[in-house]
Amino acid sequence: MPAKIIDGKAIAKKIREKIKTEVGSMKVKPGLAVIRVGDDPASIVYVNSKEKACLEAGFYSEKYELKEDIDESDLLKLINKLNKDKKIHGILIQLPLPAHISQHKVLEAVSPEKDVDGFNPVNFGRLLSGNKYLVPATPKGVVRLLDEIGVKIAGRNVVVIGRSNIVGKPVAVLLLERDATVTICHSKTKDLVEECKKADILISAVGKKGLVTKDIVKKDAVIIDVGITKSDGKLYGDVDFDNVKKIASWITPVPGGVGPMTIAMLLENTLFAKRKIEENK
């Protein structure tokens, strides 16, 4: 039997509708500021979708589109201003940043209580030490999808391909916390095929079309495809979807799988940040 498709788009829609209803009865709307630096085409698309989702959910939204050659100090000044702005509960700096700007410095400048991406070292450290607060959106969305389909996580072998701070590392930590046995693979992994064949749950977050073929997938594995590559004007994941779906039990499509969940989790995080800021006033 072919794999069941994990409909991230539908699951995310349900979450967004629930958030919209909640926000509808709020006097003060959750406010999200999104900052993009430069004209990376993918970042333009992501930031515009984030802004659109915010407005649809009834959030207050600010979008900053800064020039590629902006000084690091000017970006830091803007972040400091937003840190103090009462209308803003969440600040997101779209990555990647241009090479002349220190990503570490910028992410450290975001107030941990408004860090809806969970990339500030305070929140990253909280996640790692088992005291999570604001959690990166894509990894959170991956775990939510696994919970939605009701797959058991504890005791299962999870293989994560990719070790980025945005997806690979945090998703590994979240699943370790749920008692999975987690292996992280990357470009220097000696035998990717052997590692992947052991996976009950395989998560690929590389951005390399066709990386995960059916030969490296165990029968009835759950496949989560976080990769995105554009080729001939079309979007592709890391997974050879048509062939892998013949042997997997569940699989996410690209587009329409993990992507919509990232945005839904960002809205959830902004709502969480607002609630916490109000509690701590």
Active site residues: 50, 94, 117
76's tokens? 């830091």
Stretch that binds ligand GUN, among 52-60, 87-95, 152-160, 251-259 (CB under 6 A): 87-95
In whole angstroms, the minimum distance from the beta carbon of 150 to ligand GUN comes to 26
> Cis bond leading into 255, ω under 30°?
yes
In whole angstroms, the minimum distance from the beta carbon of 93 to ligand GUN comes to 6
Name the packing angle between helices 258-279 and 137-149 (round to 10°). Answer: 110
Q: Exactly one of 93, 145, 205, 263 binds ligand GUN (CB under 6 A); which one?
A: 93
Q: For the beta carbon of residue 151, count every other beta carbon within 10 angstroms.
A: 15
Between 92 and 216, CB nearer to ligand GUN: 92
Asked if 262 touches ligand GUN (CB under 6 A), the answer is yes
Asked if 239 touches ligand GUN (CB under 6 A), the answer is no
Sheet strands side by side (includes 157-161) = 4-5, 250-251, 222-225, 201-204, 157-161, 181-185
**Alpha carbon distance 62, 41 (integer Å):** 20
Stretch that binds ligand GUN, among 79-87, 93-101, 173-181, 186-194 (CB under 6 A): 93-101
Binding to ligand GUN (CB under 6 A): which residues in 163-182?
A: 166
Between 43 and 183, CB nearer to ligand GUN: 43
Asked if 273 touches ligand GUN (CB under 6 A), the answer is no
In whole angstroms, the minimum distance from the beta carbon of 214 to ligand GUN comes to 27
Stretch that binds ligand GUN, among 17-25, 52-60, 90-98, 173-181 (CB under 6 A): 90-98
Binding to ligand GUN (CB under 6 A): which residues in 104-163?
A: 117, 137-138
Size of interface with ligand GUN, in residues (CB under 6 A): 9
42's tokens? 């993918």
**Alpha carbon distance 125, 129 (integer Å):** 6
Q: Where would I find the H helices in 65-155?
A: 72-84, 103-109, 121-128, 137-149
Asked if 53 touches ligand GUN (CB under 6 A), the answer is no
Stretch that binds ligand GUN, among 21-29, 64-72, 92-100, 171-179 (CB under 6 A): 92-100
**Alpha carbon distance 172, 198 (integer Å):** 16
**Alpha carbon distance 28, 36 (integer Å):** 25
Contact in structure between 97 and 110 (CB atoms under 8 Å) = no
Contacts with ligand GUN, residue ranges (CB under 6 A):
92-95, 117, 137-138, 166, 262
